[in-house]
Amino acid sequence: MLTETTREARILAGGQSLMPMLNLRLARPELLIDINAADQREPAIEGGMLRLPALTRHRVLLEHHLIREHCPLLTEAIRHVGNVRVRNRGTIGGSLAHADPTSEIGCCALATGAQVVARGPAGERTVPASQLFAGYWTTTLDPAEIITDVLIPAARPRPGWSFQEMVRRTSDFAIVAVAVTFNLAERSGDRASATVALAGVADRVVLADPGLVDDDPDQTAARIAGSLDPPDDVHASGAYRRRLARVLVARALREASARAAAR
Amino acid sequence: MIKRQITLTVNGRDHEVWVVPSDSLLDVLHDELGMADVRYGCGEGVCGTCTVLLDDEPVNGCLTLAVQAAGHRVTTLRGLMGPGEEMHPLQECFLRRGASQCGFCTPGMILTALDLIRRAGRPTRDEIRYALVGNLCRCTGYTKILDAIEEYADQ
């Protein structure tokens, strides 16, 4: 249908971002294509990957045992998404396609090295989350492509993780959110490695440069915060967001490494 | 846009209604079917006054299209009341505790709280607070609402 129409069309998944935009007249597509009945699959583990069908609702992400077991970072982050009603309808594929720069889910997708499976007229392809986001509410996907699955590497041995977020009001959009995954050194001589993703600090969710990460959480956080140039908006100034990034990254690195060490 | 006829099953009763595809479930329930217990608040899914149960799960009436609810069970607060407008026990608790003042938020509060109790049994006060974060009340200051829900959950 996306290829057959010349009119502006939008895909309607859970509708918890698109419908408010319609109600506020921020989006005025001529066609809405409701995909809610298109797929009834459940989350599954396949070849070391957590496979989440795009229509997996946030409530399922929050409660599903496979996600709690293999990606507890996501379980924790989803607690910060919307409210009960939003989580009952909102979907992981819709959330990633919406590409909000403050998205908790987008932040986790970056920190876990997730990929999305996109299907279009030319067939199916896999897009790493690190190449998915193009700017404010914009992805790199072709307009005729649709996300069908999200693949998240199942937690490796001895992983640590942390999700930190600052909001004005509980359940509101993040001012800044930070997701960290952390791997202890497997052998002596190896370095521990951390992946740091941030939301609310740019026109999209971003991965921190791995070269800025070392063993000292405070110095790492200061370097990452220093590399950011967050925009000012009505919710917070850029300077405040940079300061939050520094505090939250340090907190997240400490918690993630403590979790990894405790396992 | 062209209207089409759909069947909405609300509170156990089938209603034949003519809708355009862009009509929200809230619009149809409130404006077409005259259900005063489903209310427009914010239109963004934030305030909770349009809460209805869709197949027993709370959803935003303002963010669901009426055509999406066809073939599913819709329940409003009225659907939980007994015969002859007999109040639900949680409504009684709200009255007894003074948890309802203007009453605009009350249906959404009760539907959300009952969903929580159905899932969690006896939730803690913090769990109730967390579940109700998307239901705004501008009168009570929430304390009496929490008291009422705890009283009901203890029964």
Q: Do B45 and A20 touch (CB under 8 A)?
A: yes
**pLDDT at residue B81 in the model:** 93
Mean pLDDT, residues B62-82? 96
Say yes or no for a CB contact (<8 Å) between B64 and A34.
no
DSSP class of residue A91?
Answer: B
The token duo for A54 is 């795009």
The CA distance from B8 to A256, in Å, is 49
Q: Is B127 on the interface with A (CB under 8 A)?
A: no
Q: Among positive and negative, which fits the CA dihedral A107, A110, A111, A114?
A: positive
Q: Is B46 on the interface with A (CB under 8 A)?
A: yes
pLDDT at B142: 96
* CATH 3.30.390.50 residue ranges for chain A: 163-262
Judged by CB atoms closer than 8 Å, whether chains meet at A84 and B115 is answered as: yes
Residue ranges, comma separated, of all CATH 3.30.465.10 domains in chain A are 43-153
- Mean pLDDT for back-to-back runs of 10 residues, chain A (263 residues): 80 96 93 92 94 98 95 96 97 98 98 97 96 97 95 82 94 95 77 91 96 92 97 95 98 95 82
How many helices and strands, by DSSP H and E, does chain A display? 9, 13
Picking from A241, A246, A222, the residue whose alpha carbon sits closest to that of residue A231 is: A241
Q: What is the CATH number of domain A43-153?
A: 3.30.465.10
Domains of chain B by start residue, with CATH: 4-79 (3.10.20.30), 83-154 (1.10.150.120)
Predicted confidence at residue A158, as pLDDT, reads 64
Q: Is residue B146 predicted with pLDDT exceeding 80?
A: yes
pLDDT the model gives residue A99: 97
- As a whole number, mean pLDDT of residues B8-13 equals 97
Using CA atoms of A71, A77, A82, A87 in order, give the dihedral in degrees to the nearest 10: 10
CA distances from A173 to A122, B40, B116 (A): 35, 22, 23
CA B46 to chain centre: 13
pTM: 0.94
Q: Which one of 3.10.129.10, 3.30.230.10, 3.40.50.720, 3.30.390.50 gives the CATH number of domain A163-262?
A: 3.30.390.50
Contact A15 B63 (CB under 8 A): yes
- As for the ipTM of the complex, it is 0.95
- Residue A257: φ, ψ to 5°: -70, -35
| DSSP classification of residue A173 | P
Give the whole-number percent of chain B exceeding pLDDT 90: 94
